[in-house]
Amino acid sequence: MSEIVLEVPDISCEHCARAINRRLAPLAGVRRIEVDVPGKRVRVEYDETQADLGAVREALADEGYAVSER
């Protein structure tokens, strides 16, 4: 298992957290998602043999969230 922490400055509420979870949970290899609303971060635990981190970033962008890696 590996993890990545993404800075997502547009997170502002629990609705955002739920939307991010719904969007990322079905992606291949994603095992756990933690959204830190006050810290404006998303931590994703993933199986590096299955996950495509580009797909994670793209899914967030499709939801309207700008992303940068921490």
* Nearest-angstrom CA–CA distance, 10 and 32: 21
pLDDT digits (tens, 9 = 90+) for 1-29: 899 999 999 999 999 999 999 999 999 99
Please report, rounded to a whole number, the percentage of residues in the chain having pLDDT higher than 70: 97
Which DSSP string do the residues of 19-39 spell out, in sequence order? HHHHHHTTSTTEEEEEEETTT
Looking at the structure of the chain, the number of domains it has is 1
* Nearest-angstrom CA–CA distance, 67 and 70: 10
Tell me, what DSSP letter sits at residue 40? T
Q: Residue 34: which domain range?
A: 2-69
Q: Residue 24 maps to which CATH number?
A: 3.30.70.100
Please report, rounded to a whole number, the percentage of residues in the chain having pLDDT higher than 90: 94
Q: Is 17 helix (H, G, I), strand (E, B) or coil?
A: helix
